[in-house]
A and B are shown apart, each in its own frame.
Chain A
Amino acid sequence: MATRQELQVQHKRELDKKEESTIPARAFLPTADIYETNDALNVVLEMPGVDKSSVDIHVEDGALKIEGRLDFSKYQGLQPLYTEYNVGNYSRSFRLSSKIDQNKIAAELKDGVLSLVLPKVEEAKPRTIQVK
């Protein structure tokens, strides 16, 4: 594979909602990276345009739900001339496979990238088993 691969635009996938929201806003799935370390599950989501105060993170019944709202007031008085990407809120949920310590979830939002660290509970951490 070429080392200087040109970046391609990722088309935003729209969220399929089970129930409709009261406001007719569109919601998109933020692109996500999920990786696991020995101690924690890390979830990284790209939500450009979302600031710290507009992010909601819930863990309920083994499901992680992330919502990011956009400040549409910034778009007031702007007349679109040419558009290539959709603008909307972000929403995505994941079913968590391993047990997560809900009290210790850490979140950081920087430059539109939300990084979540979900620490595993002690009994879910991997153990090395010695063969006798």
Chain B
Amino acid sequence: MITAFADPFDALLSLQRELEARFASDWLHDMTTSRGPFPPINVFQQGDDILALMELPGIDKNDLQIQAQANTIRISGRKRVDYSNGVSVHRRERVSGEFDRTLSLPVQVDPDRIKAQYRDGLLALFLPRAESDKPHSIKIK
């Protein structure tokens, strides 16, 4: 493995970030549970349904697995960064490796109607809320 070229301030800053991440880890978080923090995720509400967006640039679709249960989604895969032989590397910032992340959603989703789309390095998961989980209005007789 080639070591990244980083200036000392960068290294110090990333050390601080890692220490802070220990405190601010997902351990006791009420929203998402995870084995790893990668990929970063943004969750949006779209009407009744939920849209989750993840930044995953340069991933082969075959290297990406998505599994869904009632309210947990697991995203795992591998990110590759390839160099051809005999090149001299000036800058190396992109990361590569395996990732595995499980999300817990605060609502029940319909696993059969989940749609996933990977475009321009963004993974979009359309998570339709289960009918049983939607609020019902009750009429007073």
Contacts and interface: CB of A to CB of B under 8 A. Distances in A.
B50 A111 contact: no
Interface residues on B, range: 35 or more
B92 A112 contact: no
Nearest to A46: B57
Interface stretch (B65-73, B94-102, B133-141): B94-102
A46 B46 contact: no
B8 interface: no
A43 to B, nearest CB: 9
A84 interface: yes
Contacts of A110: 58
Given A44-B94, A48-B56, A113-B57, A9 B38 contact: yes
Nearest to A11: B17
Contact of B121 (A4, A5, A11, A49): A49
14 contacts: A5-B98, A6-B38, A7-B36, A7-B98, A34-B89, A34-B90, A35-B90, A48-B120, A49-B55, A80-B43, A111-B58, A111-B121, A112-B120, A113-B57
Given A35-B89, A51-B120, A111-B59, 12 more contacts: A6-B98, A7-B96, A8-B37, A9-B39, A11-B17, A33-B94, A34-B91, A46-B94, A48-B57, A49-B121, A79-B45, A112-B121
Interface of A: 1, 4-11, 31-37, 42, 44, 46-51, 75, 77-85, 87, 110-113
